[in-house]
């Protein structure tokens, strides 16, 4: 009665010894679905038998793969107290991109060699399916920002493409996939049926959108856990915005990135991870944008690796966005304000 008790130690049966009927709730599939709903995750599909969990000293249990995965945080806590390590299946990750030399090429090396997940396929959508009314929308945009605004957009385009590719030494996606041994599939467009088919064939647990436009629900609902997107700006303050220029417009010296779930809106899904990155001021606005975007790319690649290494926790903690502000190409008047603010903020930081 008077002595202090030591820590509680409970016997834990290895994962391969569990049966669905012994999981809480009686049925492993039902329990897994309930836990996914409580965590705010999409309803999961029953796994393919070929994707089961195998224990080194036990038999193959095809029905437990996703149930064990969804229960992993609880098993981790219990195994920590009992001095045992849980077994988790290796997640299947698919990358969807529209650029042969862009964010996907930059991020792929960061995502190799993990024990928690594996990039099983990269889907390169080589074209853009023209939505209905595309040209009418372009015309309305030009009328809104004016001819000089359209010229500003055309002038800034290389800052985020050719200049950034050269500075960050972004390689060709085909060569990178060949070196890494990652399957590469080319499709006509992001929302094309062949993209959907490629996603289904890859049996993706999670898909990552890197450098795409609008993604329809027929694509982002295919992976078991949905899709994530990296927006290289802070959300919801800068929805649909190019990085760096709009914080400068608002007089801020900080930009950043946001990893969020994809839903039917544009840059409106629940936020999974968000980090601020200081703007890297250079003598010209063009150089400032390019150098800062390189820093943001490096930060978002490291952040994506962190998210995928502990995806269940990050998805469970994802928070919905509040009201946001949407941005587009600046008008010429807005561009002049960006230039003035850039000059003032840059001069404040000179020694």
| Domains of the chain with bracketed CATH | 18-89 (no CATH), 94-348 (3.40.50.170)
pLDDT reading at 10 higher than 80: no
Confidence of residue 4 (pLDDT cuts 50, 70, 90): very low
Asked if 29 and 63 touch (Cβ cutoff 8 Å), the reply is yes
Q: CA angle, 43 as apex, 125 and 18 as ends, to 5°?
A: 115
Confidence of residue 142 (pLDDT cuts 50, 70, 90): confident
d(CA 10, CA 66): 24
Asked if 157 and 337 touch (Cβ cutoff 8 Å), the reply is no
pLDDT reading at 278 higher than 70: yes
Question: Is residue 239 helix, strand or coil?
Answer: strand
Q: Which residue has the higher pLDDT, 19 or 287?
A: 287
- Taking residues 29-46, what's their average pLDDT? 45
The H or E element that residue 150 is part of is helix 134-156
- Taking residues 208-231, what's their average pLDDT? 96
What is the pLDDT at residue 131? Answer: 57
pLDDT reading at 79 higher than 90: no
d(CA 50, CA 60): 10
What is the pLDDT at residue 346? Answer: 96
- Taking residues 229-241, what's their average pLDDT? 96
Q: Which residue has the higher pLDDT, 70 or 160?
A: 160
pLDDT reading at 303 higher than 80: yes
What is the pLDDT at residue 299? Answer: 98
Model pLDDT for residues 153-194, shown as the tens digit of each residue: 999 999 999 999 999 999 999 999 999 999 999 999 999 999
Over its C-alpha atoms, the chain yields an Rg (Å, rounded) of 23
- Taking residues 35-40, what's their average pLDDT? 46
What is the pLDDT at residue 133? Answer: 65
What is the pLDDT at residue 128? Answer: 60
Mean pLDDT score across all residues of the chain: 81
pLDDT reading at 67 higher than 90: no
Q: Which residue has the higher pLDDT, 24 or 202?
A: 202
Question: Is residue 104 helix, strand or coil?
Answer: helix
What is the pLDDT at residue 24? Answer: 39
What is the pLDDT at residue 132? Answer: 60
pLDDT reading at 85 higher than 90: no
């Amino acid at each position: 009665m008077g002595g202090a008790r030591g820590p509680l130690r409970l016997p834990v049966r290895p994962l391969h010894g569990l049966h669905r009927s012994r999981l809480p709730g009686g049925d492993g599939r039902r329990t897994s679905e309930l836990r996914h709903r409580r965590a705010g995750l999409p309803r999961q599909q029953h796994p393919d038998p070929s994707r089961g969990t195998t224990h080194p000293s036990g038999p193959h249990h095809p029905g437990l793969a996703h149930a064990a995965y969804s229960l992993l945080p609880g098993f981790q806590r219990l195994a920590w107290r009992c001095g045992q390590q849980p077994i988790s299946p290796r997640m299947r990750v698919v990358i969807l991109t529209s650029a042969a030399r862009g964010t996907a090429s930059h991020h792929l090396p960061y995502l190799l060699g993990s024990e928690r997940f594996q990039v099983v396929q990269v889907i390169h959508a080589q074209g853009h399916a023209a939505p209905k009314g595309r040209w009418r929308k372009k015309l309305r945009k030009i009328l809104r920002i004016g001819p000089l605004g359209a010229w500003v957009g055309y002038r800034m385009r290389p800052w985020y493409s050719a200049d950034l590719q050269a500075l960050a030494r972004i390689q060709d996606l085909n060569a990178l996939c060949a070196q890494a041994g990652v399957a590469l599939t080319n499709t006509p467009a992001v929302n094309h049926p062949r993209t959907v088919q490629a996603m289904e064939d890859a049996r993706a647990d999670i898909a990552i959108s890197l450098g795409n436009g609008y993604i329809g629900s027929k694509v982002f609902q295919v992976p078991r856990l949905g899709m994530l997107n990296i927006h290289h700006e802070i959300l919801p303050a800068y929805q649909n915005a190019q990085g760096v220029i709009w914080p400068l417009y608002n007089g801020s010296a900080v930009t950043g990135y946001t990893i969020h779930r994809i839903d039917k809106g544009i840059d409106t899904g629940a936020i999974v991870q968000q980090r601020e990155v200081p703007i890297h001021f250079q003598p010209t606005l063009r150089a400032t944008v390019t150098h800062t975007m390189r820093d943001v790319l490096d930060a978002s690649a490291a952040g994506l690796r962190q998210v995928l290494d502990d995806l269940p926790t990050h998805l469970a903690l994802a928070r919905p966005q509040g009201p946001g502000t949407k941005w587009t190409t600046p008008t010429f008047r807005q561009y002049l304000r960006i230039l003035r603010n850039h000059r003032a903020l840059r001069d404040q930081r000179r020694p």
